[in-house]
Chains A and B, each alone.
Chain A
Amino acid sequence: VKLSDEGDERTKMDCHTVEDHNIIERYISERLSGPELEAFEQHYLGCNKCFAELKMRHAAAMELSSLPIQLQPSRSLWMALSWRWAFASGAVALALLVGILYLRPHEQARPELPQIAELQQPSAAVIGQLGSIDQIPPYIPGVIRGGETDPAMIKFQEGMNLYSMQKYADAVSPLMEAARLAPDRPIIPFYLGISYLVSGNTDGAIEQLQRVIAQDNPYSEEGHFFLAKAYLRKRNFSSARAQLQTVQSLHDAHATAAQDLLNRIQNF
Chain B
Amino acid sequence: MDEARLVEEYRSPILYFVLRRVRDRTTAEEITQETLVILLQAVRENRLREEAKIGAYIFGIAKNLILKNYRIQARETEPPDLDSMAAGWVNHPEAELFLEEERKNVRRALEQLSDQDREILHYSFVEHEGLEEVAAKLGIPYAAARKRKSRALERLRKIFLGMSQKGRP
A and B found bound together:
yes
CB-CB under 8 A for A216 and B54, given A60-B121, A63-B110, A64-B126: no
Write the nearest CB–CB distance from B75 to chain A, whole angstroms.
19
Within 8 Å by CB of B126, from A22, A61, A75, lies A61
Write the nearest CB–CB distance from B22 to chain A, whole angstroms.
14
Residues of B contacting A2 with CB < 8 Å? 64
Evaluate contact between A55 and B139: CB separation under 8 angstroms.
no
The interface bits of chain B over 69-101 (1 if a CB of A lies within 8 angstroms of the residue's CB, else 0) are 000000000000001001101110001100100
Residues of B contacting A41 with CB < 8 Å? 17, 59
Evaluate contact between B118 and A67: CB separation under 8 angstroms.
yes
> Does any Cβ of A come within 8 Å of B128's Cβ?
yes
Evaluate contact between A55 and B56: CB separation under 8 angstroms.
no
The answer for the CA separation of A9 and B158 in the assembled complex, in Å, is 34
Residues of A contacting B51 with CB < 8 Å? 46, 145-146
Which chain A residues (200-225) contact chain B, with CB distance < 8 Å? 216-218, 220-221
Residues of B contacting A220 with CB < 8 Å? 147
Evaluate contact between B150 and A64: CB separation under 8 angstroms.
no
Residues of B contacting A252 with CB < 8 Å? 151
CB-CB under 8 A for A61 and B161, given A76-B136, A78-B139: no
How many pairs of A and B residues are in contact by the CB < 8 Å rule?
Answer: 176
The answer for the CA separation of A29 and B1 in the assembled complex, in Å, is 35
Evaluate contact between B61 and A69: CB separation under 8 angstroms.
no
CB-CB under 8 A for A45 and B55, given A1-B61, A37-B83, A250-B151: yes
The answer for the CA separation of A70 and B110 in the assembled complex, in Å, is 13
- B68 to A, closest residue via Cβ: A1
CB-CB under 8 A for A47 and B128, given A1-B64, A61-B90, A63-B107: no
- A38 to B, closest residue via Cβ: B59
Evaluate contact between A7 and B59: CB separation under 8 angstroms.
yes
The answer for the CA separation of A146 and B65 in the assembled complex, in Å, is 25
Evaluate contact between B54 and A46: CB separation under 8 angstroms.
yes
The answer for the CA separation of A218 and B148 in the assembled complex, in Å, is 10
Residues of B contacting A9 with CB < 8 Å? 56
> Does any Cβ of A come within 8 Å of B7's Cβ?
no
> Does any Cβ of B come within 8 Å of A31's Cβ?
yes
Within 8 Å by CB of B95, from A62, A75, A253, lies A62
Evaluate contact between B59 and A28: CB separation under 8 angstroms.
no
Interface residues of A (CB under 8 A from B): 1-9, 22, 25, 28-31, 34, 37-38, 41-48, 51, 53-65, 67, 69-72, 74-76, 78-79, 140, 145-146, 149, 216-218, 220-221, 250-253
Q: List 18 A-B contacts (CB under 8 A).
A: A8-B56, A25-B125, A28-B90, A29-B128, A30-B86, A43-B55, A45-B59, A46-B55, A56-B160, A63-B110, A64-B110, A64-B121, A64-B122, A74-B139, A218-B150, A218-B151, A220-B147, A252-B151
Known: A64-B125, A71-B122, A250-B147. 20 other contacts (CB 8 A): A1-B38, A1-B64, A3-B57, A5-B48, A6-B53, A7-B56, A28-B90, A44-B55, A45-B17, A56-B102, A58-B102, A59-B105, A61-B125, A62-B96, A64-B110, A72-B119, A75-B140, A145-B54, A216-B147, A218-B150
Interface residues of B (CB under 8 A from A): 1, 9-10, 12-14, 16-17, 38, 42, 47-48, 51-62, 64-65, 68, 83, 86-87, 89-91, 95-96, 99, 102-103, 105-107, 110, 114-116, 118-119, 121-122, 124-126, 128, 130, 136-140, 143, 146-147, 150-151, 154-158, 160-161, 165
